[in-house]
């Protein structure tokens, strides 16, 4: 396993719609293991494959109830099949440095996906877990959390991140 480089906005890898996984081969299994390790190393609660430069529909999420960073689950080709309620809470993203903002999400979601063995699964998540799933599935469609904000807040964060990226590139 290895810790992968996490792409930061405005990296183009974050903007593309990721491709569905057709075959659950050893490459995907290795990617999942590496993504799990990368998420823990960065102390994140979720990570999507485009964030490590892989255009495929794979996410890993920590399991909030367990409150330790040693367990995670992988969801392959995840899809939100129903959503209800509204919930607003602060979010950040490993691809947006230290920026955080209040984001409106559905309070409860039902998600279908393939697990690591290729079995079709469904889960119902609420609150924090529902939020993490919505945030990570957005990444698979090239959407970052600040794109869910009002245009004023969104542009503020984008401009600051672009400036930071320029400064970093000039180092």
How far is Cα 96 from Cα 63, in angstroms, rounded to an integer? 22
In the complex, minimum distance from the CB of residue 122 to Ni ion, in angstroms, rounded to a whole number: 23
List residues binding Ni ion (CB under 5 A): 93
To Ni ion, the closest distance from the beta carbon of 71 in angstroms equals 19
Residue with Cβ nearer Ni ion (62 or 93): 93
Work out the number of other CB atoms within 10 angstroms of the CB of residue 157. 20
Question: Which is closer to Ni ion, CB of 24 or CB of 87?
Answer: 87
> Catalytic residue at 86?
no
Looking at the Cβ atoms of 93 and 140, the one nearer to Ni ion is 93
Token duo for residue 79: 């899809």
Residues 65, 86, 136, 147: which is the catalytic one?
Answer: 136
Residue 133 Cβ, how far from Ni ion at the closest point, in Å?
12
Q: Which residue is nearest to Ni ion (CB)?
A: 93
| Pair of tokens at residue 131 | 């939020």
Q: How far is residue 96's CA from residue 93's CA, in Å, rounded to a whole number?
A: 5
46 vs 114 by CB, closer to Ni ion: 46
Q: How far apart are CA 4 and CA 71, in angstroms?
A: 18
Contacts of 111 (CB under 8 A, 6+ apart): 75, 78, 79, 80, 81, 122, 123, 124, 125, 133, 137
CB of 25 to Ni ion, least distance (A): 26
Active-site positions read 136
């Amino acid at each position: 396993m290895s810790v992968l480089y996490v792409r930061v906005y405005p990296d183009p890898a974050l903007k593309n719609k990721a491709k569905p996984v057709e075959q659950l081969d050893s490459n995907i299994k290795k990617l999942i293991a590496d993504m799990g390790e990368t998420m823990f190393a960065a102390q994140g609660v979720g990570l999507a494959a485009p964030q490590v430069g892989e255009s495929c529909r794979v996410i890993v999420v920590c399991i909030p109830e367990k409150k330790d960073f040693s367990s995670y689950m992988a969801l392959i080709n995840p899809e939100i099949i129903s959503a209800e309620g509204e919930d607003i809470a602060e979010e950040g993203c490993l691809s947006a440095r230290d920026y955080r903002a209040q984001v409106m999400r559905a309070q409860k979601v039902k998600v279908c996906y393939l697990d690591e063995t290729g079995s079709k699964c469904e889960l119902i998540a609420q609150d924090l877990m529902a939020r993490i799933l919505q945030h990570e599935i957005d990444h698979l469609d090239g959407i970052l959390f600040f794109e869910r904000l009002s245009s004023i807040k969104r542009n503020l964060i984008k401009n600051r991140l672009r400036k930071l990226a320029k400064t970093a590139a000039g180092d």
